[in-house]
């Protein structure tokens, strides 16, 4: 079935589209269970997040943050979250998501269908403590929808477990193709006794429950990720009976508190307290943030991760890395201003920067940003060099900043010996022709701007962004 529209409405640059959810039982759950910022400043530096990747490596970031992660061919992402269960037990909710493009669809009379299997075994495989073994189906109306690369499919399953450390084997398989992933690891299930409090769960929707016996009625956000500019993020949490004092929800950006909200957990008529709250996300900067709970007078109790993506697929662990993605989008002084912004000012300044870049404010998309990211992809495909992503080479920097040249001349006669050369000419975008010469002195395909051409490029950048 389709998940209802997310809490955050569509904003500039954020594509619409629902989520396809596996058939769920029992209230929505399947049972079972920093250097200079100039365009060339970091072209050969291998010591930052952005340099190590051809493009933002979202799967790697999710993996480093402790999420369950598939592979490049099958880019599923998920996680377990925990809630109190009957008696001394706990519920472990497995939430997984993947793009439609990870699955092989087949045409049927009513559209296109794909099927996949999720198997999670906790404990010994011959006598497991709990197990999920579900076959799920995804149906779409058009062929175009089969190629969606966003978070378009969600699976969710429920395990009831005793607290402690358990062996876990998880596999997800496409039933129509040899695609999928498997992983082995440990599942550490918390004990909910005394005056307990769950972590703040990022959810798509949730209904409060009044006791531990009933299964949770919620749909977890498997990636805990929203796009920059989203209106709100829905948070759900539960607490032990008697925890009636207000709680403070802090949003932390690598130690800096950039936002606080007060949450009141109201009685639900049973032995549980729970609350669903909307966190205003419009003033949160891109990066990996922490949601931390604490009493109004006390120390932090528990926390969870919230990721803010600059654009679909453009994730980074820190705001400074996000700004690194924009290094060719403006003059160095403008990029430096973004990088040096105080944590509380980052989101506002970045919103202003992107809005000014938007050539057609009336449309939902930011056409400048889309073109910019498309050029980065093209540069990676065309200009990669040994150990350096294409967009971080000299040719990549010029291509992303100025766009494709109007003319390319190769192996100019003026250069002697084994050195290869290219001359890029720009005539249409500037009042006078811009001529940029790249030399491959090693003969290994590592083209560098000559000193004179580097100065010409920097002058063109000043002219472009003045």
From CA 266, how far away is CA 328, in angstroms rounded?
49
Which range, of 15-19, 109-113, 266-270, averages the lowest pLDDT? 15-19
pLDDT at 417 > cutoff 70: no
Mark 239-256 as b/e (b = at least 16 C-beta within 10 Å). bbeeeeeebbbbbbbeee
CA distances from 100 to 145, 187, 188, 388 (A): 7, 28, 31, 31
pLDDT at 127 > cutoff 80: yes
pLDDT at 268 > cutoff 50: yes
| Predicted local confidence at residue 64, as pLDDT | 94
pLDDT confidence bin for 401, thresholds 50/70/90: very high
Q: Are the beta carbons of 124 and 236 closer than 8 angstroms?
A: no
In degrees and rounded to multiples of 5, residue 176 shows phi and psi of -115, 5
| Predicted local confidence at residue 420, as pLDDT | 81
Nearest to 98 by CA among 182, 156, 175, 155: 155
Q: Domain ranges for the chain, please list them.
A: 2-309, 329-464
Highest mean pLDDT among 195-199, 254-258, 298-302, 353-357: 353-357
Q: Are the beta carbons of 103 and 116 closer than 8 angstroms?
A: yes
pLDDT confidence bin for 412, thresholds 50/70/90: low
Which H or E element spans position 185?
Answer: strand 180-189
pLDDT confidence bin for 250, thresholds 50/70/90: very high
Beta bridge partners of 132: 120
In degrees and rounded to multiples of 5, residue 375 shows phi and psi of -65, -40
| Predicted local confidence at residue 419, as pLDDT | 61
The stretch 294-298 carries a mean pLDDT of: 74
Average pLDDT, the chain: 85
| Predicted local confidence at residue 371, as pLDDT | 94
The two tokens of residue 55 are 């493009």
From CA 112, how far away is CA 104, in angstroms rounded?
10
pLDDT at 148 > cutoff 60: yes
Nearest to 114 by CA among 84, 135, 130, 144: 135
pLDDT at 245 > cutoff 60: yes
Q: Are the beta carbons of 50 and 332 closer than 8 angstroms?
A: no
Angle (nearest 5°) at CA 270 between 269 and 276: 70
pTM of the model: 0.84
| Predicted local confidence at residue 299, as pLDDT | 65
Mark 119-131 as b/e (b = at least 16 C-beta within 10 Å). bbbbbeeeebbbb
pLDDT confidence bin for 290, thresholds 50/70/90: very high
| Predicted local confidence at residue 363, as pLDDT | 86
Residue with more model confidence, 78 or 266: 78
Residue 36 Cα to chain centre, angstroms: 26
The stretch 392-398 carries a mean pLDDT of: 95
From CA 431, how far away is CA 193, in angstroms rounded?
73
């Amino acid at each position: 079935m389709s998940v209802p529209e997310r809490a955050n409405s569509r904003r500039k640059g954020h594509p619409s589209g629902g989520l396809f959810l596996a058939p769920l039982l029992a209230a929505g759950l399947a049972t079972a269970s920093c250097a200079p910022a100039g365009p060339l400043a970091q072209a050969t530096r291998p010591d930052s997040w952005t340099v190590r990747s051809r493009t933002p490596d979202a799967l790697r970031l999710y993996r480093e943050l402790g999420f369950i992660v598939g592979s490049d061919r099958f880019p599923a992402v998920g996680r377990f979250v925990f809630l109190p269960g009957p008696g001394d037990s706990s519920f472990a909710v497995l939430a997984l998501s993947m793009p439609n493009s990870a699955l092989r669809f087949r045409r049927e009379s009513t559209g296109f269908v794909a099927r996949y299997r999720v198997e999670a075994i906790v404990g010994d495989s011959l006598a497991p403590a709990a197990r999920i073994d579900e076959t799920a189906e995804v149906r779409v109306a058009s062929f175009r929808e089969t190629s969606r690369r966003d978070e378009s499919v969600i699976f969710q399953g429920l395990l009831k477990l005793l607290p402690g450390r358990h062996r876990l084997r998880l596999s997800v398989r496409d039933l129509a193709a040899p695609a999928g992933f498997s992983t082995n690891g440990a599942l550490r299930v918390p004990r909910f006794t005394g005056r307990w409090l769950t972590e703040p769960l990022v959810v798509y929707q949730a209904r409060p429950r009044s006791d531990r016996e009933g299964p949770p009625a919620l749909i977890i956000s498997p990636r805990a990720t929203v796009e920059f500019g989203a209106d709100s993020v829905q948070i759900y949490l539960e607490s032990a009976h008697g925890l009636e004092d207000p709680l403070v929800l802090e949003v932390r950006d690598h130690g800096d508190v950039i936002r606080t909200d007060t949450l009141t957990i109201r009685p639900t008529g049973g032995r549980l307290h729970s609350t669903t709250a909307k966190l205003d996300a419009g003033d949160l900067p891109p990066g990996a943030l922490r949601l931390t709970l604490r009493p109004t007078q006390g120390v932090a109790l528990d926390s969870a991760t919230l990721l803010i993506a600059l654009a679909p697929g453009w994730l980074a662990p820190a705001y400074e890395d996000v700004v690194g993605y924009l290094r060719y989008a403006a003059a160095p002084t403008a990029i430096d201003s973004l990088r040096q912004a105080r944590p509380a000012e980052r989101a506002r300044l970045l919103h202003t920067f992107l809005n000014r870049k938007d050539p057609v404010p009336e449309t939902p998309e930011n056409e400048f940003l889309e073109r910019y990211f498309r050029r980065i992809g093209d540069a990676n495909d065309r200009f990669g060099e040994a150990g350096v992503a294409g967009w971080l080479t000299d040719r990549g920097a010029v291509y992303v900043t100025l766009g494709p040249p109007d003319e390319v001349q190769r192996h100019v006669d003026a250069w002697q010996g084994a050195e290869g050369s290219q001359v890029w000419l720009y005539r249409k975008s500037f009042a006078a022709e811009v001529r940029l010469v790249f030399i491959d002195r090693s003969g290994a395909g590592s083209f560098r701007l000559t000193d004179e051409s580097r100065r010409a490029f920097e002058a063109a950048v000043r002219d472009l962004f003045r």
